[in-house]
Structure 1
Amino acid sequence: MKKVILNLAVSLDGFIEGTNGEIDWCIMDDDMNFNAFIESIDTMFYGRVSYDAWGNYQPDENTSPAEKTMWNGIHSKNKFVFSHHDKRDQNATFVTSGITDKVAELKQQGGKDIWLYGGANLIKTFINLGLIDIYKISVHPVVLGSGKPLFEDLKGRIGLKLINTNIFKSGVVELTYESE
């Protein structure tokens, strides 16, 4: 069965973005091998705001070949946008109700895992509904002081089991947890 994976960068103080939505503090090291993660999935889950910003993003001509390859990999995936508003989009399927049923249906299909890309509201919904199988959290060596926290308004405790750690040359520490 497919797994829903939250793969996300957080600051040392637990924020996923700064006060103004900035993510310029995120580090992408070669040794992180993010392309291997992209290859391990065939489906992406977006909230509407994140999809509008990144779902069809095209890097400019000055972008490095490695980043262009990453974006090509991301855009080759099946995309589902969870939103209150239905929209016609040739690159994504919009889901406006029945989140739990739709996720269960997609997990039963063959293929690779699913990346819960975000945004913050969708992540919060998935956490509170218990729909995340793997938490792959990359803690970046920066303290933001304020912003959008990863865990807020939780409905209850979440039991997790640490299954892997990676330390990268930049000082980023990737923690991978399985839901219990």
Structure 2
Amino acid sequence: MKKVILDLAVTLDGFIEGPNGETDWCIMDDDMDFDGFLSSVDTIFYGRVSYDMWGNYQPDENANQDEKSLWKTVHAKEKFVFSNQNRKDDNATFINSEISNKVNEIKQQSGKDIWLYGGASLIKTFIQLKLIDTYRISVHPIALGNGKPLFEDLQERIELKLLKTNVFKSGVVQLIYEPNK
């Protein structure tokens, strides 16, 4: 069965973006092997705002080849957008009801794992519905003081089991957890 993997950057003080939505603090080290992560998934779950911003993003012509290759790989994945809108889109399937049932149907399909891309509202929904199988959280060595927190309005505790820790040359520490069942 496919797993839903939340792969996300977070600041040391727990924010996934700054107060104005900024993510310019995110570090992409070559030793993070993001390409390896991308090769382990064949599906991406987006919220509508994140999809509209990044789901069809194309780097400009001055971007380096690595960035162009990264986005080509991302856009080759099957995309599902969770939204109240019921839009037609050639590049994604929109889901606007029965989230748990539809996610479980997708998880039953053959193939690789699923990247829960976000945004914050979708992540909060997946946390509340207990749909995340793996939390892959990369803690960046910066504190913002305010912004959008990762764990917002939790209705109950989430107990997690640490599976692995990766430390990168930039000081980013990646923590990989699964929920205690």
What is the TM-score with the length of structure 1 in the denominator?
0.99
- Give the secondary-structure state (helix, strand or coil) at the position aligned to 2:36: helix
Residue of structure 2 in register with 1:82 after alignment: 82
Residue of structure 1 in register with 2:124 after alignment: 124
Which amino acid is 1:42 matched to? D
Following TM superposition, by how much is the alpha carbon of 1:91 offset from its aligned partner in structure 2, in angstroms?
0.1
Distance across 2 between alignment mates of 1:140 and 1:67? 21
Q: After the TM superposition, list the runs of 4 or more consecutive aligned residues in structure 1 that deviate by more than 3 angstroms.
A: none
Deviations along 1:79-113, one digit per CA (max 9) or x if unpaired, are 00000011010000000100000000000001000
Residue of structure 2 in register with 1:158 after alignment: 158
Residue of structure 1 in register with 2:23 after alignment: 23
Deviations along 1:45-91, one digit per CA (max 9) or x if unpaired, are 00000000000000011112111111111000000000001101000
Which amino acid is 1:169 matched to? K
Gaps (5+ residues) in structure 2?
A: none
Residue of structure 2 in register with 1:13 after alignment: 13
Equivalent runs, 1:45-124 vs 2, <5 Å: 45-124=45-124
Following TM superposition, by how much is the alpha carbon of 1:164 offset from its aligned partner in structure 2, in angstroms?
0.6
- Give the secondary-structure state (helix, strand or coil) at the position aligned to 1:54: helix
- Give the secondary-structure state (helix, strand or coil) at the position aligned to 2:126: helix
Gaps (5+ residues) in structure 1?
A: none
- Give the secondary-structure state (helix, strand or coil) at the position aligned to 1:31: helix
Distance across 2 between alignment mates of 1:29 and 1:62? 20
Following TM superposition, by how much is the alpha carbon of 1:154 offset from its aligned partner in structure 2, in angstroms?
0.6
Aligned length: 180
Distance across 2 between alignment mates of 1:15 and 1:63? 28
Pairing 1:39–2:39 present: yes
- Give the secondary-structure state (helix, strand or coil) at the position aligned to 1:117: strand
Pairing 1:140–2:140 present: yes
